[in-house]
Amino acid sequence: DGGITQSPKYLFRKEGQNVTLSCEQNLNHDAMYWYRQDPGQGLRLIYYSQIVNDFQKGDIAEGYSVSREKKESFPLTVTSAQKNPTAFYLCASSISTLNTEAFFGQGTRLTVV
């Protein structure tokens, strides 16, 4: 069953702890993205990767880190430096970053208490 999978669906963490969100795709896509979705804010780009072993900061990268060691995986770490980490996080992938359809995961809702 091809697609893009985010896990877990819900995640709770204590303030001050780092947490890693998983994103896996078996679509053989080169490009992968992480967005944060807040009410009234739309989707804001955190990080993106055009190819394995490479990634670029998006518009709101502060307090986040990523890695792209494998083509199919693009984990996002929300660090303690992120001032307002409670949000809905969406991962996406596409064949490339140039005019190709992006496929989205179901999202992870992170709540920091």
Partner 1 sequence: AQRVTQPEKLLSVFKGAPVELKCNYSYSGSPELFWYVQYSRQRLQLLLRHISRESIKGFTADLNKGETSFHLKKPFAQEEDSAMYYCALSGRGGSEKLVFGKGMKLTVNP
Contact footprint for partner 1 (CB under 8 A): 33, 35, 40-45, 48, 50, 56, 58-59, 90, 92, 94, 97-99, 101-106
For residue 90, which phi and psi values (nearest 5 degrees)? Answer: -120, 135
CB of 38 to partner 1, least distance (A): 10
- Phi/psi-derived region of residue 40, left when phi > 0, alpha when psi is between -120 and 50, beta in every other case: left
> Closer to partner 1 at the Cβ: 100 or 111?
100
The least CB distance from residue 1 to partner 1, in Å, is: 14
